[in-house]
Amino acid sequence: DTAVSQTPKYLVTQMGNDKSIKCEQNLGHDTMYWYKQDSKKFLKIMFSYNNKELIINETVPNRFSPKSPDKAHLNLHINSLELGDSAVYFCASSPTSGRGSKTQYFGPGTRLLVL
């Protein structure tokens, strides 16, 4: 009965590779997000999707491409991985109306290590 899930939880890969992180929420929310947490624990928004439409793109390199096949899923694909991409990536979701609206609920995070 996990609310927001991410796969994989850990990802170790070589520089230059392409990788994807998947996110699914079963809360019925219509907005989903990707955040990056760097080695100093600072959290920053990357993307936001509302009903499969891109709402926020915070000057993220175009090697990062989010894909939302439906309201419940928001995947993150990263091309040509670089050392600086090593971080924890969090998916989150929120309802835009009703109880709990405006509150974001986070997945468990994916720790990405680029060697």
Partner 1 sequence: AQTVTQSQPEMSVQEAETVTLSCTYDTSESDYYLFWYKQPPSRQMILVIRQEAYKQQNATENRFSVNFQKAAKSFSLKISDSQLGDAAMYFCAYRGGRLGNEKLTFGTGTRLTIIP
Residues that bind partner 1 (CB under 8 A): 31, 33, 35, 40-45, 48, 50, 55-56, 58, 88, 90, 92, 94, 96, 102-106, 108-109, 111
Q: How far is the CB of 67 from partner 1 (least distance, A)?
A: 19
Q: Cβ closer to partner 1: 9 or 80?
A: 9
Q: Cβ closer to partner 1: 6 or 75?
A: 6
Q: How far is the CB of 110 from partner 1 (least distance, A)?
A: 10
Q: Cβ closer to partner 1: 10 or 16?
A: 10
Rounded Cα distance, 7 and 95, in Å: 22
CA angle 36–4–59, rounded 5-degree value: 25
Q: How far is the CB of 100 from partner 1 (least distance, A)?
A: 9
> Do residues 13 and 78 lie in contact, with contact meaning Cβ atoms separated by under 8 Å?
no
Rounded Cα distance, 89 and 14, in Å: 17
CA neighbor of 77 nearest in space, from 30, 14, 10, 17: 17
User: Distance of CA 74 to CAs 16, 17, 34, Å?
Assistant: 23, 21, 8
Q: Cβ closer to partner 1: 79 or 96?
A: 96
